């Protein structure tokens, strides 16, 4: 059975107390997103990883990649144990359906804990097992520019084999920072709100209902409204050309312009991503 390895990004740079708070917020957000999408899943956190078992792996990936704070996801196969022989057996089995006739491959391994071997040992031994298992296909090792890369991750007494890092939006978990009100009247305003959500802010959106619905795909708890007494700022989707028309003195809180340095093409590209719910 496949399992998802979920990694965060900049949360790991925080101090221990802040990191724990952000880790808990991220797990809550992951569960909320899965629940919103109707995906049955079980999440366990250990160290700097979340292990997700889901009834529908593809649906779980689609949900979790929209959770801010998640840096990457891998669909992995777990080894029986972290012993070298079990890693090699799983790597050989995993590779048989994922490498074709005459292709080259490499193994990239990373390890954390006290297993009695190094990451280089894992790469060498797993690579040997993969080569022997696929020798009939005429495969070859190429550490510079391989056709296929197999990844092995060992963490304490658990080991996993996978073939891909699915890159996500990273950032900080929504709800880890303060609340802001965002004017979402057009696509630039939607992008501005999205960028503040990525920085961990809980957004109260005001404006176009259709655009707000697109933002809610990234935060099921997103609210719509004109104002909130707990709001710490206002978010405007203003470009550099329209800055002179904004009177910041009419607001009693700080005003943020996340898209002010972005070209129309950059905004359009990000808007397409948001509209597609990717």
Q: Which residues pair with 73 in a beta bridge?
A: 6, 166
**Domain extent listing, the chain:** 2-78, 84-156, 179-276
pLDDT above 90: residue 239: no
> Residue 80 and residue 219: Cα distance in Å, rounded?
36
Q: CATH assignment of 2-78? A: 3.30.70.1510
Domain 179-276 has CATH 3.40.50.620: yes
Q: What is the mean pLDDT of residues 51-70?
A: 96
pLDDT above 80: residue 244: no
* Domain topology for 84-156: VC0802-like (3.30.2130)
Closest CA to 242 of 225, 264, 269: 264
Intrachain domains 2-78 and 179-276 with the same fold: no
Q: What is the mean pLDDT of residues 46-58?
A: 94
Q: How many CA atoms lie within 13 A of 1 on its CB side?
A: 8
> Residue 193 and residue 172: Cα distance in Å, rounded?
14
246-248-249 Cα angle (round to 5): 130
Reported as type and span, the H/E element at residue 24 is helix 16-36
Task: Give 169-193 pLDDT, tens digit per residue.
Answer: 999 999 999 999 999 999 999 999 9
pLDDT above 80: residue 255: yes
**φ and ψ at residue 268, rounded to 5 degrees:** -65, -40
């Amino acid at each position: 059975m496949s399992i998802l390895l979920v990694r965060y990004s900049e949360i790991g740079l925080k101090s221990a107390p802040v990191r724990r708070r952000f880790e808990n917020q991220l797990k809550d957000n992951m569960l909320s997103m899965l629940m919103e999408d109707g995906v049955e899943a079980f999440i366990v956190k250990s160290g700097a990883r979340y292990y997700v078992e889901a009834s529908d792996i593809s649906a779980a990936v689609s949900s979790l990649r929209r959770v801010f704070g998640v840096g990457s996801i891998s669909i992995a196969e777990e080894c029986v144990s972290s012993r070298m022989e079990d890693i090699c057996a799983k790597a050989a089995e995993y590779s048989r359906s994922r490498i074709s006739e005459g292709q080259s491959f490499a193994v990239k391994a990373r390890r954390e804990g006290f297993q009695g071997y190094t990451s280089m040992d894992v790469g060498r031994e797993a690579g040997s097992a993969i080569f022997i298992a696929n020798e009939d296909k005429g495969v070859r090792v190429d550490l510079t520019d391989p056709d296929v890369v197999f990844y092995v991750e060992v963490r304490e007494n658990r080991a996993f084999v996978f073939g891909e890092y699915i890159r996500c939006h990273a950032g900080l978990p929504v709800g880890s920072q303060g609340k802001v009100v965002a004017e979402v009247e057009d696509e630039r305003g939607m992008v501005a709100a999205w960028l503040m959500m990525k920085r961990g802010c809980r957004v109260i959106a005001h404006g176009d209902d259709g655009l707000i619905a697109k933002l809610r795909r990234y935060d099921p708890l997103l609210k719509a409204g004109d104002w909130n007494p707990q709001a710490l700022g206002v978010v405007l989707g203003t470009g550099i050309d329209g800055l002179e028309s904004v009177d910041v003195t009419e607001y009693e809180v700080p005003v943020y312009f996340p898209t002010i340095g972005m070209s129309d093409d950059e905004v359009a590209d990000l808007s397409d991503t948001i509209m597609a719910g990717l």
